[in-house]
Amino acid sequence: MTPAIDAHVRLDTHPTHSSAVQAVLTGSQARIALLALEAADWSVAATNVLILARIDHEEPYWANHAAMQLMAEGITVEISPRLQEAIDEEWTWANYPMPWCTRSEIRDVSQQAQKIHDDIRHGHLLIHAHARDGHTTVAVGTYLHRGGKSVYLHGENHLRQIADTFDTPAEALVAFEKVHAAEMHPGPAPLTDTERAAIEARSVFDVTTAKSGPSHPEPETVPVYLADAGDHDALLDEFLTTHGEFERWRTWSDDTTHAIHESQTLRIERVHETQARETAWTVAAYETPVSDRMWVLTATSATPAAVLQDLLIHLADGDGWDTAIGAPVDEKTVTAATQPLTEAGWKHALNGHGIRWTSPDEEAGVQFDPLTTQNPQNPATWTIWAGPGPDQPTWAITASPHTPSSLLTALSETLAHQTCTRQAQPGREHKDRLAANAAATPVVTASRPSSRSR
């Protein structure tokens, strides 16, 4: 007899995603259940809350499969009535392109597609290039395990398959370019709507408020530096849609997007799903595509979208890219960059790190450190922040010595004069209710898989 484990897993439907499943873990040995679910490609969304979000909409089936595995290990599992209904539901793909397949065979096909998707997402399959082929997408990549085989992929989402294999990446790329040269682009293809939905489902959320849909307080008008972070991914998508001179590609690990100007001398890096104070944006300029970096600017994940939007607009105008390497940062440069702050009544003073400008409400600041100007690669000659200070910022932007003064002036203008709206921020207790409140919904004990197909 399998010994009981002090772990309880409650499975329920996702509050916003149509087919995803959430698991809430409790008990002194909940860690055992967490490791088991992570091994089955469930993603952690909050403390002791995991999400199963797939591209084939088979989450209920695989959630039930996971429940059987957990119970076999002596872990208590409960399934909500909503999820049990989804597990027992009979359904078929509309207009499925392989109508000769049985329901079980269709599930096998989609499971293979899911495995390819997961291998790309986890960095096990490196995508070299992609192209459009009629109404679908094709790609070529190399496995970083499985003996390093290179593969030709055909299709999207639950229909993606390995159509051919090659012994080397060079052989695969030559064959791919021979057929798809006209439509070929570097790196993986942009995410599909289904892939984006799965990413959103795996994000941190509050299972209580997502279902109850409480009213939100009226937004308040605040200086731009106090505004909400907003949707950085949507901001980048809009920028790339309206500025065709920038080429988009996403890394094999699926966690970073690069936007590269057609001149190859301006590059924007956006790291997705970072913490509030971690660097989420890096902008770098080069004299030539193969030269050393002239200047670099970074921004953290909590930087207000309105500030980033003005920055992107300025970059799209192309002003200041040709800042000469070795050009001195003198008093004239500093004065020009901070004049909008001075005119708006920001107080400035000398401190141990140089010159600091502070907003009238003391909620934001700009700092210039002259001691770093001799090192062109120093990323923090300029620091812009909101919050208690540059060492404990709510958000921060840093810039190297040769960052164009016109760009810095534009940022100062935004900080000094622009206002935005923000919603009231939920308290910490709002997030901590995840596990505590999830057990309030009626549940039923997990049963053996239904004999009916889903």
DSSP 221-282: EEEGGGS----HHHHHHHHHHH-TTEEEEE-TTSSEEEEEETTSSEEEEEE-S--TTSEEEE
332 and 399 part of one domain: yes
pLDDT at position 333: 86
232 and 326 part of one domain: yes
The model's pTM is 0.49
408 and 260 part of one domain: yes
184 and 274 part of one domain: no
pLDDT at position 321: 53
119 and 59 part of one domain: no
- Report if residue 21 sits inside a domain: yes
Query: Which residues, including other chains, have CB under 8 Å from residue 68's CB and lie 6 or more apart?
Result: 446, 448, 449
User: What residues are paired with 164 via a beta bridge?
Assistant: 152
Query: Which residues, including other chains, have CB under 8 Å from residue 305's CB and lie 6 or more apart?
Result: 227, 228, 229, 230, 231, 232, 235
- Report if residue 450 sits inside a domain: no
pLDDT at position 113: 92
Class of residue 212 by CB neighbours under 10 A (exposed 0-12, middle 13-18, buried 19+)? exposed
Q: How confident is the model at residue 288 (pLDDT cuts 50, 70, 90)?
A: confident
182 and 253 part of one domain: no
Report pLDDT digits (tens) over 105-123: 888 898 999 999 988 887 8
| 326 touches 426 (CB < 8 A) | no
Query: Which residues, including other chains, have CB under 8 Å from residue 392's CB and lie 6 or more apart?
Result: none
- Report if residue 190 sits inside a domain: yes
Residue with token string 């300025």:
314
- The domain boundary residue, chosen from 38, 56, 91: 91
- Report if residue 200 sits inside a domain: no
Give mean pLDDT, residues 447-451. 32
3-state secondary structure of 356: strand
pLDDT at position 449: 32
pLDDT at position 423: 61
Report pLDDT digits (tens) over 249-266: 865 556 788 899 988 889
Give mean pLDDT, residues 27-35. 92
- The domain boundary residue, chosen from 194, 212, 235: 194
- Report if residue 169 sits inside a domain: yes
Class of residue 57 by CB neighbours under 10 A (exposed 0-12, middle 13-18, buried 19+)? buried
What is the bridge-based pairing of β-strands 364-368 and 382-386? Answer: antiparallel
When divided into structural domains, the chain yields a total of: 3
- Report if residue 135 sits inside a domain: yes
Q: How confident is the model at residue 218 (pLDDT cuts 50, 70, 90)?
A: low
260 and 389 part of one domain: yes
Report pLDDT digits (tens) over 391-430: 889 999 999 988 988 899 999 999 999 888 776 544 433 3
Give mean pLDDT, residues 431-454. 35
Q: How many whole angstroms from its chain centre is CA 207?
A: 20
- The domain boundary residue, chosen from 56, 91, 126: 91
- Report if residue 442 sits inside a domain: no
Range of the domain at 74: 8-91
| 400 touches 379 (CB < 8 A) | yes
Q: Which residue has the higher pLDDT, 449 or 390?
A: 390
C-beta neighbour count of 360 within 10 angstroms:
11
Q: How confident is the model at residue 142 (pLDDT cuts 50, 70, 90)?
A: very high
Residue with token string 């104070």:
277
- Report if residue 51 sits inside a domain: yes
125 and 80 part of one domain: no
322 and 343 part of one domain: yes
Give mean pLDDT, residues 27-36. 92
Report pLDDT digits (tens) over 300-352: 999 999 999 989 988 887 655 544 444 567 888 899 899 999 999 999 998 77
Class of residue 242 by CB neighbours under 10 A (exposed 0-12, middle 13-18, buried 19+)? exposed
| 258 touches 245 (CB < 8 A) | no
Q: Which residue has the higher pLDDT, 380 or 59?
A: 59
236 and 190 part of one domain: no
Q: Which residue has the higher pLDDT, 423 or 188?
A: 188
Ranges 219-223, 284-288, 317-321, 337-341, most confident: 337-341
Rounded Cα–Cα distance for residues 306 and 224 (Å): 7
Among 107-111, 377-381, 430-434, which is the least confidently predicted range?
Answer: 430-434
265 and 229 part of one domain: yes
Kindly report the average pLDDT of the chain as a whole number: 82
174 and 225 part of one domain: no
Rounded Cα–Cα distance for residues 386 and 390 (Å): 8
Helix, strand, coil percentages, rounded to 5, for the chain: 35, 25, 40
* CATH code where residue 47 lies: 3.30.70
pLDDT at position 248: 86
